[in-house]
Amino acid sequence: AVSCVWLQALAVLTSQLSGASGLASLPAASALGDAAYQSFRSLHPHHLPSDLHDLAAAASASRKGARNASVVPKVDGNVTTEYEPVKCTDYLYRHPNTIECPAGCPFLRMEPDGVCKFTCVRADQCGADDPLKSFPDRDAMQCGPCTVSACQACGTSSNSCGVCQEGFILDGGECHDKSRWFWRSFYFVCFCGVVYGMMYVVLVFLRPITNKEVCHQALSFRIASRMHNPATGEEYPLIGTDVCNSYVAGVGVMLHFSWQWWMMIFSLAVAVSLLAMGTVFGKRVALLKNTMEKNHFDSCNLKVRDQKEQVAKMEFFYFVLVLVIYITTTAFAFWFAVRQRRLGAKVAAETTTMQDYVLLASGLPKMSGTMKVEELLTEAFEKALEGVDAEVVGVSPCWDFRIFKGSVEEQVCFEMELLETETEARMIEAGKEDITPLRSAKTSARGSARDSSRRRMLDSEGPISKEFRRLDQYLGIRFDVDEDNDDIKPEDRKPRALKAMVEALYTTGQAYVVLRTEAQRNRALTHLQENPPKVFDKEITVVAEDSEPETILWSNLGTKPGEIVSNIIIGCVVLVIAVFLLDIIFYFPSVAYLISVSSVVGHSDGGLQGTILGLLVCACNQIVYFLIGLIADRCGFRSIDDHQRFYVVGYTASVFINTLIDLCVVMLLAQGYTMEQAITSQISSDSSMSVKSIAENPAVQMTVYLKFSEYIFPSCLLIPFLAEPLVCHFVFQVKKWIVRSRPDVSVQQAEIQLACPPFDLARYGDILINVMLCCGTLAFTYRDLYILWICLFVSLVMIYCWDKYRFLRVSSRSVFVSQALDITAQHLSSVPCAICAACLVFRLYGMKDVEGNQFLAKWFHVKDWVDSEAAKVGRLVNRDTIMLVISVVIVLHIYVHTWALKNLVPRWADVVEKHDEEVDYQTTSEHIPCNWFNGNPIHVLRSKYLFEHKSPVVAYVVGREYLLQPVPELGCYYDMADTLLARKHGHHQKVHQTWSGQLGEVKDSFHELKTDVLEKIGRPRSISGNSPDSPKSVDPAAKV
């Protein structure tokens, strides 16, 4: 403080001596004293005596008088510079306090496309290149920020608007969205809907429990359908199961979790490297000041050359770091691709599955269901393999039953219900009296009792509860109490009609041929490819099948390849239109409204605004998620692996494009631009959103990065993955409460509603999109980049933990045996690497004109080489070609990367693994419940209704493996029924004990609350149909 005081006094003395005697011998002391005084005054404005303030004012007036001279002596660093008078069209690279603008353009404007670059402009030109700094501050004679939301031009002050942007109205100096009442009404309706939904959930929870045993059965089935070891029936432990390196549910699942694990390592490595670089540049230079701050001019008053050199150092070292990240990431991608393929080959060699025994025969004639197709084809292949050591176990033809898909699936479910009834009856006869005979009871008695219970339930409810009960149908539980498939008697389903249905079908021209061992399969494949057999004078082709029967979509086998291609094209067109309409109708107006109500024009400060934006992004992505799922279902893929490949690619591409559009809109609006301004010439010029400004101005770059990071976190990295497990558990609980309170819900319907959803591999898309977005941040020179990558790492850890738990405990058994999806993900991984290459080009463009050239020349003594190379880069990458060069680099890298994955990686990963090819089909079939015969629903129905086998083939259904019976003559050997049935019984008892314990705990706590609520909403306390005044007449069977 003492130094600042004396230096300021020296500055005053110097200015007085210079003005009085014409001496200019102490300009350095004057500038130094003025700089020290301004720095101290900005920190301690109230700690200087009044006389020093007067001296400072006198010195300032003296300097202003000197600016009117023809030649102005000023100091820049350690060199005295003489400046010519300023013109309105000049670009000035000087200290702002040395610039005196002429009367024709009296306001000083900081240009966004350069470091400490200024121009003198008129008042109406302040916001030409940066709408957020459109206010002409007449006190400082500078163009400053306008802090009014959605303001095009400020009024008398920076806090009062004069002209609003299009779509907004001016009211009391503030801008209001014209559609604000619509959005407020929309939010109010949403709020009312949330309140209504909460009331519904509370009333569902308070409903009397009238269907407890059915709910117990459904929960037992939920546990039985989860992932378990088919050989032992035991569930896989959460902690000890290595899903990254062991075969649990196919090679595809294992490679998926391995991919997630290594993506965590990759994100952590990048975060650590960025953290180390940020530690080197721990002190933020003044030039990296937010351009929205009122004192952003001050950063150009002190040691500009030192600051520029510091920024140049950061540019250079971050360029080198991004180059290292790009090279190592690309090398890592190739190494990881080789590792994944070798791991898949190793595990596949160690495991014997159903695909090791089967051949896919194509080109067969289409045969009618009236023919005994299975026997004819078996004889034909046995004849074709005469003289070859290969035994045919059986043939499973592919059938086109798309028009009967609903009837076939319903009949298979009904067949399982009949088997369940017989199983329960056997258990009761065996002395297990603690099993409730829900399915084995007489249909008429059960239907009569349940009808009576339904009527008592409906009569006892008030009008409010009845209306809320109608909402159950939106969760999949029908309100029509008279509709109950479980009450249909078995004799009502006539075998003749079922036989006629299967006879009306035709084959697709393909069939699965099952051999006794893998070695025999290989010999048969070689023989049949060298000597193609003929069936009914048609030559057929034979290939090895790479799918499991559990992954075949049997109902889609009738879809022709041409139909699949046309469906894909139509689906992609529909998806593009849907995304476009989603952005135009829903997303853009919502973002515009959110930005219009923020505290600063277009700037979201996080908090509530960031959360709402995150929820909006989640909603849009979920809509895209749902649409791509519908399109994938309608394409007609023949296997789950193909379905998931299309789903992941389509989901990743659509959500990434949608995210880029959303991000551009957010950043445009956040910088104060309207869409009309962006579409015209604003962005292509040297505006605050031009590529040149972002590349060369560190302050603009930091501002853009902050908005970029606000969009990524928490909208993309946190909120979706926190909400997913909560929503899944919430929906399950509500469905459980509905089932336990609805006596009209059958066992079959309860099992369908409470069953675990299948596991999917869509997480490839979610992770790739987040990695792409984080790779895009490498274009910025900012020391806090590591924070976003740490957030990415935490997000990936959270995703991995939730997916592992979801796979082992919350999903039904799902098998993915193909490496095709992992290979597809490896090709998609070329996009993040290409984005890193684009960031390098962007950084190179930003470095070519800054003082980094002198920095490199001073450090490496290669000034001439640096200047020549910078000139070459400037000719190649300039304002007009930068976007083209970036696009070419991205496309070129993706092309080379995918070419290497297709042609080089298979050679590097070509390792021969030893595999036991002599394992008998019977041995494998005894441990794997699903085979090529019981997985084919038409084959199952034909076995019972056409061939009328004494012991027909039992259909494979996830969660009902205990119903499978060995039929050796038909190729079925799985014999774990007793073990799995006993385990299912244990699950039922566990659910019953858990239920009873939970019910006892909450019964006392909620009894009084429950009674009060029921009285207030008008429902009688009694759960029977009697009057509440006669509690003694309550039916004991209807009590909870």
Q: pLDDT tens across 445-458, in order?
A: 344 444 454 454 44
Residue 153, pLDDT above cutoff 80: no
Reported residue count of the chain is: 1040
Cα torsion 77, 80, 82, 83 to 10°: value is 10
Res 283 pLDDT > 80? no
Which pair of structure tokens corresponds to residue 763? 């997480």
Quick: pLDDT tens for 659-700: 777 777 666 655 555 444 544 444 445 555 566 666 666 667
Average pLDDT over residues 241-247: 88
Q: If you count DSSP H runs as helices and E runs as strands, how many of each does the chain have, helices first?
A: 33, 16
The alpha carbon of residue 85 and the mean position of all alpha carbons in its chain are separated, in whole angstroms, by 57
DSSP 585-626: IIIHHHHHHHHHTSSBTTB--SHHHHHHHHHHHHHHHHHHHH
Find how far residue 383's CA is from the centre of its chain. Answer: 53
Tokens of 89: 């069209």
Beta bridge partners of 164: 151
**Helices marked H in 806-950:** 820-828, 830-847, 852-860, 863-876, 882-903, 905-908, 921-925, 937-945
- Span 468-494, average pLDDT: 53
DSSP 955: P
- Side-chain-side CA neighbours of 426 within 13 Å: the count stands at 11
Q: Please, are residues 797 and 767 in contact by the beta-carbon 8 Å criterion?
A: no
Q: Convert the pLDDT of each residue in 758-794 to its tens digit.
A: 998 889 989 999 999 999 999 887 788 899 999 999 9
Q: How far apart are CA 318 and CA 435, in angstroms?
A: 69
**Which pLDDT tens digit goes with each residue over 513-524?**
999 999 999 999
907-929 b/e (C-beta count within 10 Å ≥ 16 → b) = eebeeeeebeeeebbeebbbebb
Q: What is the mean pLDDT of residues 948-962?
A: 88
For 52-96, the pLDDT digits (tens) are: 334 333 344 433 343 333 334 444 444 445 667 788 878 887 778
Rounded-to-integer distance, Cα 364 and Cα 540, Å? 6
Q: Residues 792-835: pLDDT tens digits?
A: 999 999 999 999 999 999 999 888 888 889 999 999 999 999 99
Per-residue confidence (pLDDT) for residue 807, from 0 to 100 = 93
Lowest mean pLDDT among 13-17, 91-95, 107-111: 13-17
Q: What is the mean pLDDT of the chain?
A: 75
Contact 751, 217 (CB under 8 A): yes
* Cα torsion through 884, 886, 892, 895, rounded to 10: -110
Give pLDDT tens digits for 345-354.
Answer: 888 888 888 9
- Tell me which of 142-156, 259-273, 775-789 is least confident: 142-156
Residue with tokens 């010519």: 84
Percentage of residues in the chain with pLDDT exceeding 90?
23
Q: Which pLDDT belongs to residue 273? A: 94
Q: Residue 515: its pLDDT value, please?
A: 94
What mean pLDDT do residues 587-601 have? 60
Model pLDDT, residue 790: 95
Would you say residue 532 has pLDDT above 50?
yes
To 10 degrees, the CA torsion angle through 418, 419, 424, 428?
A: 100
Residue 516 is predicted with a pLDDT of 93
Tokens of 87: 């013109």
φ, ψ at 174 (rounded to 5°)? -120, 155
In the beta sheet, which residues pair with residue 535?
538
Contact 41, 55 (CB under 8 A): no
**Is the pLDDT score of 980 beyond 50?**
yes
With beta carbons less than 8 A apart as the criterion, state whether 244 and 832 touch: no
Percent of the chain with pLDDT over 70: 67
Closest CA to 508 of 375, 365, 638: 365
Name the token pair of 142. 């500078």
Beta carbons within 8 Å of 1028's beta carbon, 6+ residues apart: 1020, 1021, 1022
714 upstream amide cis, omega within 30 of 0: yes
Closest Cα to residue 738, out of 479, 1007, 460, 997?
479
Q: Please say whether the beta carbons of 701 and 289 come within 8 A.
A: no
Question: Is 80 exceeded by the pLDDT of residue 235?
Answer: yes
pLDDT number for residue 288: 58
pLDDT recorded at residue 140: 81
Three-class SS state of 538: strand
Q: What confidence tier does 565 reach under pLDDT thresholds 50, 70, 90?
A: very high
Q: Which alpha helices (DSSP H) does 388-404 contain, by range?
A: none
3-state helix, strand, coil in the chain (%, to 5): 60, 10, 30
Q: Mean pLDDT across the stretch 24-36?
A: 41
DSSP 84: P
Beta bridge partners of 176: 169
- Tell me: pLDDT of 321 over 90: yes
Mean pLDDT check: name the lowest of 107-111, 479-483, 1024-1028.
1024-1028
Q: How far is Cα 641 from Cα 422, in angstroms, rounded to an integer?
A: 36
* Concatenated DSSP letters of 804-844: HHIIIIISB------SHHHHHHHHHTHHHHHHHHHHHHHHH
Distance CA 168, CA 314 (A): 42
Residues in a beta bridge with 631: none
- What is the rounded distance in angstroms from the CA atom of residue 417 to the CA atom of residue 954? 12
Residue 1009 pLDDT: 46
Among the ranges given (459-468, 569-578, 755-764, 857-866), the one the predictor scored with the smallest mean pLDDT: 459-468
Burial of residue 177 (number of CB atoms within 10 Å: 0-12, 13-18, 19+): buried
Report the distance separating Cα 454 and Cα 745, nearest Å.
10
Whether residue 263 is predicted with pLDDT greater than 50 in this model: the reply is yes
Say if residues 647 and 628 touch (Cβ distance below 8 Å). yes
Q: Which of 130, 215, 22 is nearest to 1040 (CA)?
A: 215
Q: Please tell me the distance from the alpha carbon of residue 436 to that of residue 32, in angstroms, as a whole number.
A: 93
pLDDT at 301: 61
- pTM score, whole prediction: 0.77
Amino acid at site 992: H
pLDDT at residue 468, as a whole number: 59
What CA–CA distance (Å, rounded) separates 2 from 589? 57
The tokens 């030192």 sit on which residue?
306
Instruction: Give the pLDDT band of residue 997 (cuts 50, 70, 90).
Output: very low
Judged by DSSP in three states, 177 sits in strand
Tokens of 869: 């190379």
For 127-253, where are the E strands, in sequence order? Answer: 135-137, 142-144, 151-154, 161-164, 168-171, 174-177
Q: For residue 502, is it left (φ>0), alpha (ψ between -120 and 50) or beta? A: alpha
718 or 658, greater pLDDT: 718
Q: Mean pLDDT lowest for which of 293-297, 470-474, 690-694?
A: 293-297
- Which position has the token pair 């094209």? 569
What is residue 921's predicted lDDT score, i.e. its pLDDT? 93
Mind listing the pLDDT tens digit for each residue in 600-632?
Answer: 444 444 445 556 666 677 777 778 888 888 899
pLDDT band at 1014 (very low <50, low <70, confident <90, very high): very low
Cα(261)–Cα(779) distance, rounded to whole angstroms? 26
Contacts of 90 (CB under 8 A, 6+ apart): 119, 120
- The residue type found at 752 is I
Model confidence at 867, pLDDT cuts 50, 70, 90, reads low
633 within 8 A of 574, measured Cβ to Cβ: no
Query: Which pLDDT belongs to residue 84?
Result: 74
- The pLDDT assigned to 528 comes to 92
Q: How far apart are CA 846 and CA 858, in angstroms?
A: 19
> pLDDT at residue 396 above 70?
yes
| Highest-confidence segment of 133-147, 453-467, 888-902 | 888-902
Q: DSSP letter at 556? A: G
Instruction: Name the most confidently modeled range: 35-49, 102-116, 837-851.
Output: 102-116
Contact by Cβ (8 Å): 915, 924: no
Rg (CA), the chain: 37
* Phi-psi group of 229: left, alpha or beta (phi > 0 → left; psi -120 to 50 → alpha; rest → beta): beta
